[in-house]
Amino acid sequence: MRVHEIREEFPFFGKRGGEEEPLIYFDNGATTQKPQAVIDRLVEYYSRENSNIHRGDYPLSSRAERMYEHARETVAEWLGAKTPEEIVFTKGSTEAVNLAAACVGETWLKPGDNLVVTELEHSSNYFPWKRQCEKRGAQLRVAEAETDGTLKTEAVISRMDERTRLVAVTAMSNVTGFRPDVGRIVKKAHELGIPVLVDASQEIAHHRVSVREMDCDFLVFSGHKVYGPMGVGALYGKRKWLEELQPYLYGGGMVQRGDCGCIRYRRDPGKYEAGTQNIAGALGLEAVLGFLKRWDFSGIEEYERQLGQCLREKLEKIPGVRLLGTERDSPVQVFESEWMGAYDMGVLLGNRGIAVRSGAHCAYPLMERMEKESICRVSLAFYNTAGEIESFAGTMRDLQKTFGRKGN
């Protein structure tokens, strides 16, 4: 992996005034840095191409709509969707799951039905389903995780029955990096006629995602987790479901015709995109997917696997540091310390130029299962280096010498 060439594409890693070295950025699970190609695309749109789509009769508006729909085609191709009509643009994964949950609740969920989620889920793929069940007299069935942060496939399958209307599962835990057997979950759910939504928010930056190979019914991701702009993401949905479900948001742009008597919605995906869309965000997302095509994704996966293994091995050698989770080569690693709380650890590392994330990571059921209140997470990306990991490990050793108890 030509990591130095990759870093040159990201202005964030250039030297800034008064700083000898750029920040060691190990918080990629929260958001990723942006390549110059994305920044340039946003500037170009707002400088020269800014116009709204839908019913604009002048060339600039027509061009904006063509660019917006081309971005949809690019996302569809990246995910392996059959048609661009299976891609709904959203503000990100949170809005995408809420959109799916509201539509499923309105169309399919009746009293006595149930939805299945897991304890691995981020709050964004847990609370929307919980709320729909509360509103409609349905049951939320939660597949329990293991105390080590893993999830047994049978725990999910055993929650399904003839009243299950949907299963929602993450492709990769944002806490431990654990990856459930999504393929087997989807296969079993489909045997029972149950659709499956996959949250690929963490997965999307580290592994190639193919909705065709997964055969999932819905999939969500956020652009900013895969080096794209904030404020844009996508909901993939099989076309038969998008045609069947009732919309969630109502307003301009999502109807073909509407009067006091009746409303005729646009065909999918337009009926799910009411109001003014984030056109610049969609174009920025398209730009980053084009940028990523320049790099061998299998090479990215292998390089990040090596980084994750290196990181874990370094941390395991520091007295009083305990690694959590079972994924030895994941780019996402979490740990706790005998000699310092997670919040203080995050602050002290930040003061030394290293960005990590401390807390419950919006995964409260999993944290409760693991009996943890707050832990530190290091999340890597393909622009991170072994040298940064060594600097981080050296800083951790210095902190241990300063704050660790004698004998550790």
Catalytic residue among 103, 133, 216, 362: 362
Provide the mean pLDDT of the chain.
94
Question: At a CB cut-off of 8 Å and minimum separation 6, what does 372 contact?
Answer: 324, 336, 360
State whether 217 and 309 are in the same domain: no
| Cα-trace Rg, the chain | 22
Is residue 362 among the annotated active site residues? yes
Is residue 260 scored above 70 in pLDDT? no
Q: What is the pLDDT of residues 105-143, one digit of tens each?
A: 999 999 999 999 999 999 999 999 999 999 999 999 999
Q: What is the pLDDT of residues 318-371, one digit of tens each?
A: 999 999 999 999 999 999 999 999 999 999 999 999 999 999 999 999 999 999
**Helix or strand holding residue 196 (H, E):** strand 196-199
Q: Where are the alpha helices (DSSP H) in 229-381?
A: 239-244, 279-292, 297-316, 342-351, 364-369
Beta strand pairing call for 357-359 and 354-355: unpaired
Map residue 333 onto helix, strand or coil. Answer: strand
Report whether 203 contacts 330 (CB < 8 A): no
Give the CATH number of the domain where residue 397 resides. Answer: 3.90.1150.10
Examine the fold and report which residue of 251, 266, 292 is the final residue of a domain before the chain moves on: 292
pTM equals: 0.95
In a domain, 363, yes or no: yes
DSSP 285-317: HHHHHHHHTTS-HHHHHHHHHHHHHHHHHHHHT
Map residue 170 onto helix, strand or coil. Answer: strand
- How many residues comprise the chain? 408
Q: What is the dihedral of CA 285, 288, 290, 293, to 10 degrees?
A: -130
Model pLDDT, residue 407: 43
Q: What is the pLDDT of residues 304-317, one digit of tens each?
A: 999 999 999 999 99
Is residue 258 scored above 70 in pLDDT? no
In a domain, 79, yes or no: yes
Examine the fold and report which residue of 241, 262, 292 is the final residue of a domain before the chain moves on: 292
Map residue 408 onto helix, strand or coil. Answer: coil
What is the number of structural domains in the chain? 2
What is the rounded distance in angstroms from the CA atom of residue 84 to the CA atom of residue 173? 28
Report whether 374 contacts 342 (CB < 8 A): yes
Q: What is the pLDDT of residues 69-91, one digit of tens each?
A: 999 999 999 999 999 999 999 99
State whether 247 and 302 are in the same domain: no
What is the rounded distance in angstroms from the CA atom of residue 118 to the CA atom of residue 365? 9
State the residue range of the domain holding 338. 3-30+295-403
Question: At a CB cut-off of 8 Å and minimum separation 6, what does 16 contact?
Answer: 22
Start-to-end CA distance of the chain, whole Å, equals 37
DSSP classification of residue 266: P
State whether 381 and 392 are in the same domain: yes
